[in-house]
Structure 1
Amino acid sequence: MSNASYPITEETIGQVTHFENAPQWIYEVDNPYLHGVYAPTVDEMAVDELEVTGELPEGIYGAYYRNGPNTIHKPTGLHHPFDGDGMVHAVYFQDGKASYRNSYIHTAGYLLEKEEGRAMWPGVMGTFDFSLPEFPIKDTCNTDVTWYAGKLMPTWYHAGRPHKMDPLSLENLGEYSLPGRTRTNMSAHNHVDWNTGEMLFMDYGDEAPFMTYGVANADGTLRSEVPIELPGPRRPHDLGFTTNYTILHDLPLFHDANLLRRHGKMVLDFHRDIPARFGIIPRYGDSADIRWFECEPCFVLHISNSWEEGDWIVMDGCRSANPLRQPEGGGELAHMLVYMRNETNNYRWRFNLKTGEVREGDIDDLNTEFNKSNQMFHGVKTQYAYHQHIPLLHENGHTLRFNGLVKYNNETGQYDKWDYGDGVFGSEAAFAPVKGATRDSDEDDGYVITMVTDSNTWKSEALVFDARDITLGPIARVKLPQRVPAGFHATWARGEDLYT
């Protein structure tokens, strides 16, 4: 075993389970992100008329998509969950019925390794091989997934090349390019404004300009893209937007690009003496229009929503004040394991465009992340956000796990919580507005949907909650035809967009 400080048995609820739909080489590798709830699922299938416990209201109209890693080939070095080949799982809802599909994302790396029959890239923990085609690090496209301009668009954590898939068949349609762009990459998190159909995106890298920001039209064409001046290479993860502005992030968690070039290692450092900066730019603004606001040092993975209140810009999200904690044990995987374990909480930032004043503080201190809200209301004031509860390191092993759904009222800081159950682990939830909903509807008029896997039985389900009261528990459970491993991000596409 290569990493005795974190044996497999500790990370798989006391057992090493052999799965028929997982590659059998995983049992030769001692890494908790290849076992138990993280064991890859390599089978692709399409199944209609799924078994449902409870009743699916006809108001659930659309599709839940979730992206995540499903490693095919035995790693050549240390494995990181960002290395796993991307796979989209989809559950479609229409007329009170549900169906399922899943598909690998056919990135250049996936196709080349499939042809070679082996892993070729060393993974994000390096050492990187700059002679390899495409990236010295394999772009797996395994992080987020967005519905935009009639296509499904999966993306990757390290700002890779977005891809496109048919949202109904999951057929792979190649890389997603916007003609006229100066760069081809996009960050993991790009946001579609349902009110206009526009997509707001950014890209970052190790060469100047270190960030670009752009807007794509609803028809899939580029409207604008501008360079953003930064002090050096950064690793932002998300952005926020309001009706008229976009909020870009310059955060003090980044790597030394020169060290990467010299030694082929990406070593992150949290610079506690550098403030977090948030740049507010008009949606269609130029580089010179951005205004920077300094805040307490932190790292931000995900934004719930942002909006305007007079001269103020308000941004809700989850904040980590200490994203690089020291590992409690040794071993080759120690730093990766502690980095993947989120210690974050619900937080609010306020920026005054007239005076330059900044106000920031906790909404609550519960350890939550992977926060989502009703996308119909993105850019305007909202109350509610739906988070995943993450047990702290001392509470439940060393891997990232979601053990409960949390509905926040961000105006009061109060929350409702539903525990998935002992040994049951969830996915990022997506908000599904009731069929025909508009901005005149109540913000929580709809459903919250997640996928869970029960480690007691290794069965998976899609759970459907009434968003008004998640404490009632799932109003319907959709039995999935295969085990779905833990993954990263999810989204909802409306039936009005998919089926018409």
Structure 2
Amino acid sequence: MDVEIVGRLLSTLPADDDHPYRTGPWKPQTTEWRADDLDVVEGAVPADLDGVYLRNTENPVHPAVRNYHPFDGDAMVHVVGFRDGKAFYRNRFVRTDGLLTEIEARSAQWAGISERPEWAPRYDGWGARGRMKDASSTDVTVHRGMALTSFYQCGDLYRVDPFSAETRGKETWGGAFPVEWGVSAHPKVDDATGELLFFNYSKQAPYMHYGVVDAANELVHYVDVPLPGPRLPHDMAFTENYAVLGDFPLFWQADALAQGVHLPRFHRDLPSRFAVVPRRGGTDRIRWFEAESTYVLHFTNAYEDGDEIVLDGFFQGAPEPADNGTGDKWERAFRFLALDRMQTRLHRWRLDLVTGQVREEQLSESITEFGMINPRHGGRPYRYAWAATGKPSWFLFDGLVRHDLRTGAEERLSFGEGVYGSEAAMAPRTGSTGEDDGYLITLTTDMNADASYCLVLDAARVADGPVCKLRLPERIASGTHSTWADGAELRRWHTADTAAHAVGL
């Protein structure tokens, strides 16, 4: 492995830190690496794997004002690239406005999700889009050859070079970016059209917008999606002709919010609602569908089936887990992050466009979340989803499940005791013909070996274990959302010389 340290940030976190989401598997990094020709620990890099895997990470540089929540951490993007049987690695902090301000101040300047906004030196109202720190640490996607990082409470989209992981400023869409509202995490890119679909939300009426950026990177559609009040949506879905947005009964308590306190509560007496809007349709064409009360953090996919929209995602049986008195103070405080406590299971909703009715069914008994699909099937009929399993009581991924949605069959891989993975992206094999003809890629944090690895798995045979295992320069912090970008598509937007230099090939 050809390794070079290209940067290091000065952390002010305490040496005796005992917070479980800043220590152990979540211990943040300060070093930025450039590593080419990664060491192969097991197997061989597939010659027909061409592209980059990107993962975003909450990676705090400074202590919280008082109470740290893992969603508050600063963004760090990890890149593992593959071409011609070789692999490289890069990681960089995303140079957000918030991070740069706090580096200069050498301390936290904004309140986090578990803090009162007035506790912080900078107070701008807090939350969706009332200006808590825009860490841009939630999601990452790729549009027109550029990676875009985003924040769950709505913020700017930061442009990140998908080869070098270096920040290239903010996305502006030619000056049309909705700065006051920002963009939520989980904008969706339709591989078939080149469009980017997004939503945002706020504490101000109409409380939600939906927009479309076309293949030329122009904001061509932006409409109100009126809601009954402030909500906390997190994800969206799309089909060939429609966008699907959610209004779930987990949202800030109205009386507390009026006092400036952001206290989320689950209102079980209210239904879940789905807004279906034609992809270029106006507010007057939104149709609402009511379903069983729950909260959905992530959808896997949606598609049209005759007069119905089939929508798949993870139904939470307990969106507000009760404190049953078990576990230590940390397990109890962060029970809202544990998949087993929230009881997340793959679920299907069928929205009938003729009758307005909704039919629901549970697709699996297994507790899984953070599902990924073959990106070529986004918005189209599909069969397979690859999802994470969670360590009981903790926000850590301890394995993977391949869901066959046609037969109900499941195939599992456990990472092993003390080993935790990332959201696994599906990378179609060069020249692939089948939906599961490709590879599953994830990064692991191995506490036993004090090391991190990139695992490459056969997407059709997950239980067989890795076909390739690559060592990274250091043990990385645990993390969540990821994406895959096809190499040939990236090279359309980057010159051959730039791309070759970036990957060390």
The question of 1:55 aligning with 2:41 is answered: no
Deviations 1:198-255 (A, max 9, x none): 0010000100120000110112111101000110111111111110011110000000
- For residue 483 of structure 1, what is the aligned residue in structure 2? 475
Residue deviations 1:405-447, cap 9 Å, x none? 110001222100011111111100000011244xxx2111110
Alignment coverage as a number of residue pairs: 472
1:200 to 197, 207, 219: 197
Q: Whole-Å Cα distance in 2 between the matches of residues 48 and 167 of structure 1?
A: 15
Superposition deviation, residue 194 in structure 1: 0.3
Q: After superposition, give the CA deviation of every residue in 1:427-471 in whole Å (9 maximum; x if it has no partner).
A: 00000011244xxx2111110000011111121001001111112
CA-based RMSD of the aligned residues comes to 1.9
When normalised by structure 1's length, the TM-score is: 0.91
Residues in 2 aligned to 1:257 and 1:493: alpha-carbon distance in whole angstroms: 41
Q: Percent identity?
A: 39
Regions of 4+ moved over 6 Å? none
1:337 aligns with 2:334: yes
Task: Quote the residue 1:287 is aligned against.
Answer: 283
Q: Which runs of 5+ in 2 are unaligned?
A: 1-7, 125-129, 493-505
Q: Which runs of 5+ in 1 are unaligned?
A: 1-19, 394-398
Matched, 1:371 2:371: yes
- Secondary structure of 1:37's aligned partner: helix
Report SS of the residue matched to 2:349.
strand
1:447 aligns with 2:439: yes
Q: Does 1:416 align with 2:411?
A: yes
**1:325-404 mapped onto 2 (5 Å cutoff):** 325-329=321-325, 336-342=333-339, 343-393=343-393, 399-404=394-399
2-structure distance, mates of 1:333, 1:416:
32
Q: Secondary structure at the match of 1:387?
A: strand
Q: Per-residue deviation at 1:21?
A: 9.9
Counterpart AA for 1:368:
T
1:181 CA displacement: 4.3
1:4 aligned partner: none
Q: Is the 8 A contact 2:94 2:166 kept in 1?
A: no
For the structure 1 residues 286 and 377, does the alpha-carbon distance in structure 2 shift closer, same or farther, using more than 3 Å as the test? Answer: same
Query: 3-state SS of the aligned residue for 1:339?
Result: helix
Q: Deviations over 1:23-44 (max 9, x none)?
A: 5734433321111000101111
The verdict on how the C-alpha distance between 1:200 and 1:33 changes in structure 2, with shifts beyond 3 A counting, is same
**8 Å CA contact 2:446, 2:475 repeated in 1:** no
Q: Which amino acid aligns with 1:281?
A: V
Q: 1:212-227, aligned counterparts within 5 Å?
A: 212-227=209-224
Is residue 298 from structure 1 mapped to residue 287 from structure 2 by the alignment?
no
Q: Quick one: which amino acid aligns to residue 235 of structure 2?
A: D
Is the alpha carbon distance of 1:312 and 1:325 closer, same or farther for their aligned partners in structure 2, counting shifts above 3 Å?
Answer: same
**Matching of residue 66 in structure 1 with residue 44 in structure 2:** no
Contact 2:110 2:121 in 1 (8 A): no
Query: Corresponding residue for 2:26?
Result: 38
Provide, for residues 143-195 of structure 1, a one-character-per-residue CA deviation record: whole Å limited to 9, x for no partner: 11000122110011212221111112222122222233444511111110000
CA shift digits 1:373-424 (9 cap, x unpaired): 011111111000000011333xxxxx21111111000122210001111111
Correspondence for 2:503: none
Distance 1:207 1:416 in 2: 45
How many Å apart are 1:258 and its aligned residue?
A: 5.8
SS of alignment partner, residue 29 of structure 2: coil
Name the SS for the 2:466 alignment partner.
coil
Would the aligned equivalents of 2:53 and 2:425 in 1 still touch at CA under 8 Å? yes
Match of 1:142 among 126, 132, 137: 137
Q: Is 2:423–2:481's contact at 8 Å kept on the other side of the alignment?
A: yes
CA distance in 2, matches of 1:29, 1:60: 40
When residues 443 and 387 of structure 1 are mapped into structure 2, their CA distance, relative to the original with a 3 A threshold, is same
Which whole-Å CA distance do the structure 1 matches of 2:16 and 2:63 have between them?
Answer: 9
Kindly report which structure 2 residues correspond to 1:85-100, keeping only aligned pairs within 5 A, or say none: 85-100=74-89
**1:230 is the counterpart of 2:227:** yes
What is the CA deviation profile of residues 65-89 of structure 1, one whole-angstrom value per residue up to 9, with x for unaligned ones?
0001111112221100011111001
CA contact (8 A) 2:154 2:181 kept: no
Once the two structures are overlaid, the 10-residue window that deviates more, 326-335 or 52-61, is 326-335
Aligned match of 2:495: none
Q: What TM-score results when the alignment is normalised by the length of structure 2?
A: 0.90
